[in-house]
Amino acid sequence: MRFLKLVSTLLLIVVLAACSTSASSGSTTNGSDYPSRTINITIPYAAGGSGDLQARIIAEFLQKELKQTVNVISKPGGAGSIGMNAVKSSKADGYNIILTAVGPSTLTPNSNDVGYTVTEDFEQIAQISEAPYGIAVNESSTVKSLDELLDQAKNNPKSVTYGTTGAGLHQHVVTSAFLATLDGVEMEHIPFEGGAEAVSALLGNHTTASVNTVSEIIPHNGNGLRILAVTSEERLEDLPEVPTFGELGFELIGNGAWFGFMAPKGTPEEIITTLDEAIKKALEDEDVIAQFKNAGLPIRYLNSQDFKTKVEQENVKNAEVIQSLK
């Protein structure tokens, strides 16, 4: 009996010691031994969506690269603000990061009082993807180019409609800002619940045009729909004959739906750099590239500094548009 007691006491000491060392190593904040425990990636979206998918692909790579468990936690709701607030209020030690997107970062906090500002409460780690939008019409339409669509809208005010993913979402913000720069062009916005509904309304000829993420309309191009222009800076590999808005002489306030990693404000720079480098490496990995390509998600890496600048600029521009929409 005494022997058993001795063994269990020893065991207890060992366990306690192990715990205290891991606890103390976890508490070093300069990040020299980062990461020493599980990293949690929050997504402000429901499981199963494109945000979840990207997080899981990257998490799988980071797990191998950083030799630590990487979890993906879904916190949807509140137009993305629930997930953002959860990460904002967690410890700034690099173990709680978020894979967020344009909506929760620069749209929601500008239209609602949700308790955070992306530039003040978050550190930008890296942008990973940016999916451009395309504007399309039904193939049976007489409209063959963006100019013709705009002319039609000019000649028949309010009777030309365009569908998007939803009210106040990026597609809507970018398009309405674009239309506001044009003289006398009025198009009626029809918000749908998600991109798929908008595409099916256009396929069924219920709307005149639709602004969608290109991956949603490419499969129908020349087979029900006609894509008139894309929002990316350069022409797309899959759509070599479709011009960009820039080529046609129009300037946009956003080039597409981006996703990027952020951490709570005050996360040590060293940790941000470690994560940024690991994410960059992930996006250069062949398997990761193949998975992104199959899922129709264009990789577009921006490092911490460039991402930060971009978020700052878009935040200002989007805030203006959202105010004008109100």
Binding residues vs other proteins (CB under 8 A): 46-50, 52-53, 56-57, 60, 73-79, 81-82, 85, 111-115, 158-159, 161, 166-168, 188-194, 196-197, 199-201, 203-204, 206-207, 215-216, 218-220, 223-224, 291, 294-296, 325
**Number of residues written out for the chain:** 326
| Closer to other proteins by Cβ: residue 274 or 318 | 318
| Closer to other proteins by Cβ: residue 84 or 143 | 84
| Closer to other proteins by Cβ: residue 127 or 164 | 164
| Closer to other proteins by Cβ: residue 157 or 266 | 157
Q: Give min distance, CB of 97 to other proteins, in A.
A: 16
The first and second tokens of residue 208, run together, are 């005149």
Nearest to 38 by CA among 74, 64, 63: 63
Q: Give min distance, CB of 75 to other proteins, in A.
A: 5
| Closer to other proteins by Cβ: residue 107 or 271 | 107
Q: How many CB atoms lie within 10 A of CB 3?
A: 7
Q: Give min distance, CB of 74 to other proteins, in A.
A: 6
Residues 259, 128: Cα–Cα separation, whole Å: 6
Residue 93, Cα to own-chain centre: how many angstroms?
Answer: 23
By the 8 A CB rule, do 105 and 190 touch?
no
260: which strand partners?
100, 127
Q: Give min distance, CB of 290 to other proteins, in A.
A: 9
Q: Give min distance, CB of 115 to other proteins, in A.
A: 7
| Closer to other proteins by Cβ: residue 5 or 158 | 158
Q: Give min distance, CB of 184 to other proteins, in A.
A: 18
Q: Give min distance, CB of 201 to other proteins, in A.
A: 6
